[in-house]
């Protein structure tokens, strides 16, 4: 028996490998090796175990093997896919973060019709924004199960949706009646080799919020309640039309974001030279009737146009860790502003630790104040860069 058997009897090494290495396969599709109907049936049967709204059996699958039909689908796919081909021309050799996916996507555009088999997942119904379950929501879980089933059997595919922009032409070509929505057309083949790596993704602790939108914890809590020990934090995010360069100019000039916050009213650099890891600045608050403070901050991460992190008071024993992260998003930027409350060197930890029965509530109240302030900061930054 494997050490990795779960309580329910699954070998987690295998299950986790399947879940973490089912990648979008394009350049590594074996375009020469035939794929049997038997395997396709098997994978669709597995996929059909996925949930469906109201338990309606409304999903339908199409398997396309006829080369003329595949060519026509390939032609339609390429009409939409010119954006990949053009983008590849711009990005090849630049080291841009999207260079690989664009090159891979462009390859698929050029070879779509050469996949040994195309499998389309469709569902009875038209998305009417009624909020009722079904339609896309019922098709997507099974479409992903189909991917997993393929991978487990040495096959691969990419979740190709661009034909959705040509749904009328696709329906005419394949004789699909009105009232049916097609969602994804999988180019299926054996994979060249079976080793695939997990993708770099954000850890759960960054993107999982507990009890209140934006409330994070760095570590799992022992009893589910918020505790200083677990690194409680807050995240706020905003999308801007402005590109990362413009947003970075505002957030990296520490006095600018500070002026939108009600707590940190003033901040100025106290170190000379280029800004970067090890630079310091002083932040202070002198709002009447509010606790006055004045604190040193040390920059602990700095990547131009991407990341700016600083620790309050002491880099090893920070009172808090604050951080801006910036990514390009849909032609603009997504700005993420986050903070983690430290175990010492702040006003919150001693209060929270004094009475464990109050710890969670004290952290909640403090974080609601942080969240409101941080929201003001990102909205202020957006106002500046988009205004």
Ligand X SMILES: Cc1cc2nc3c(=O)[nH]c(=O)nc-3n(C[C@H](O)[C@H](O)[C@H](O)COP(=O)(O)O)c2cc1C
Binding mask 166-205 for ligand X (x = CB under 6 A): ---------------------------------x------
In whole angstroms, how close is the CB of 82 to ligand X at the nearest point?
13
Residue 150 touching ligand X (CB under 6 A):
no
Residue 148 touching ligand X (CB under 6 A):
no
Q: How far apart are CA 309 and CA 32, in angstroms?
A: 50
In whole angstroms, how close is the CB of 209 to ligand X at the nearest point?
22
Q: Residues near 216 by Cβ (< 8 Å), separated by ≥ 6?
A: 205, 206, 208, 209, 210, 232, 233, 234, 235, 338, 340
Binding part of the chain for ligand X, among 87-95, 153-161, 327-335, 348-356 by CB under 6 A, reads 153-161
Binding part of the chain for ligand X, among 155-163, 174-182, 290-298, 344-352 by CB under 6 A, reads 155-163
Distance of alpha carbon 286 from the chain centroid: 39
Residue 24 touching ligand X (CB under 6 A):
yes
Q: Which of 15, 18, 101, 246 binds ligand X (CB under 6 A)?
A: 101
Q: Residues near 384 by Cβ (< 8 Å), separated by ≥ 6?
A: 250, 256
Ramachandran angles phi, psi of 294, nearest 5° = -155, 120
Residue 336 touching ligand X (CB under 6 A):
no
Comparison of 120 and 160: residue with beta carbon closer to ligand X: 160
Residue 158 touching ligand X (CB under 6 A):
yes
Binding part of the chain for ligand X, among 131-139, 154-162, 222-230, 242-250 by CB under 6 A, reads 154-162
In whole angstroms, how close is the CB of 183 to ligand X at the nearest point?
9
Q: Which of 35, 120, 162, 228 binds ligand X (CB under 6 A)?
A: 162
In whole angstroms, how close is the CB of 66 to ligand X at the nearest point?
22
Q: Which of 160, 236, 297, 298 binds ligand X (CB under 6 A)?
A: 160
Count CB-CB contacts under 10 A for residue 319.
20
End-to-end CA distance of the chain: 63
Q: Which of 47, 70, 102, 105 binds ligand X (CB under 6 A)?
A: 105
Burial degree of 228 (CB within 10 A; 0-12, 13-18, 19+): buried
Q: Which of 47, 64, 78, 108 binds ligand X (CB under 6 A)?
A: 108
In whole angstroms, how close is the CB of 132 to ligand X at the nearest point?
21
Residue 217 touching ligand X (CB under 6 A):
no
Closest-CB residue for ligand X? 23
In whole angstroms, how close is the CB of 86 to ligand X at the nearest point?
15
Q: How far apart are CA 169 and CA 25, in angstroms?
A: 26
Comparison of 107 and 210: residue with beta carbon closer to ligand X: 107
Count CB-CB contacts under 10 A for residue 198.
12
Residue 267 touching ligand X (CB under 6 A):
no
Residue 161 touching ligand X (CB under 6 A):
yes
Comparison of 174 and 353: residue with beta carbon closer to ligand X: 174
In whole angstroms, how close is the CB of 239 to ligand X at the nearest point?
19
Binding mask 46-85 for ligand X (x = CB under 6 A): ----------------------------------------
Residue 159 touching ligand X (CB under 6 A):
yes
Binding part of the chain for ligand X, among 114-122, 158-166, 248-256, 286-294 by CB under 6 A, reads 158-166
By the criterion CB under 6 A, which residues form the site for ligand X? 23-24, 101, 105, 108, 158-162, 199
């Amino acid at each position: 028996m494997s050490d990795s058997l779960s309580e329910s009897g699954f070998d987690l090494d295998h299950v986790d490998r399947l879940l973490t290495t089912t990648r979008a396969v394009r350049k590594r599709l074996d375009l020469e090796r035939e794929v049997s109907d038997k395997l396709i049936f098997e994978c669709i049967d597995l996929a059909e175990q996925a949930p469906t709204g109201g338990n309606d059996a409304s999903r339908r699958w199409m398997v396309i093997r006829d080369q003329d039909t595949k060519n026509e689908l390939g032609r339609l796919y390429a009409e939409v896919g010119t954006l990949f081909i053009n983008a590849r021309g711009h990005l090849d050799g630049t080291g841009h973060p999207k260079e690989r996916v664009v090159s891979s996507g462009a390859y698929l555009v050029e070879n779509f019709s050469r996949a040994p088999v195309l499998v389309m997942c469709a569902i009875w119904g038209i998305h009417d924004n009624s909020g009722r379950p079904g339609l896309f929501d019922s098709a997507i879980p099974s479409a992903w199960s189909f991917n997993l089933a393929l991978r487990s059997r040495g096959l691969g595919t990419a979740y190709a949706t661009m034909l959705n922009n040509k749904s009328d032409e696709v329906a005419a070509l394949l004789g699909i009646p009105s009232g049916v929505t097609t969602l994804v057309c999988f180019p299926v083949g054996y994979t060249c080799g079976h080793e695939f790596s997990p993708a770099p993704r954000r850890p759960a602790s960054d993107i999982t919020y507990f009890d209140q939108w934006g409330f994070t914890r760095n570590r799992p809590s022992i009893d589910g309640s918020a505790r200083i020990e677990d690194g409680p934090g807050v995240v706020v995010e905003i999308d801007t039309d402005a590109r990362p360069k413009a947003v970075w100019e505002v957030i990296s000039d520490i006095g600018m974001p500070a002026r939108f916050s009600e707590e940190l009213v003033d901040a100025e650099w106290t170190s000379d030279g280029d800004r970067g890891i090890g630079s310091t600045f002083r932040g202070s608050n002198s709002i009447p009737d509010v606790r006055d403070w004045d604190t040193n901050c040390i920059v602990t991460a700095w990547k131009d146009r991407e990341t700016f992190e600083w620790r309050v008071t002491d880099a090893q024993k920070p009172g808090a860790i604050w951080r801006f992260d910036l990514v390009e998003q849909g032609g603009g930027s997504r700005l993420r502003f986050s903070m983690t409350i430290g175990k010492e060197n702040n006003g919150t930890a001693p209060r929270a630790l004094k009475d464990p029965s109050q710890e969670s509530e004290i952290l909640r109240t403090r974080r609601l104040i942080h969240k409101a302030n941080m929201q003001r900061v990102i909205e202020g930054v957006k106002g500046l860069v988009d205004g």
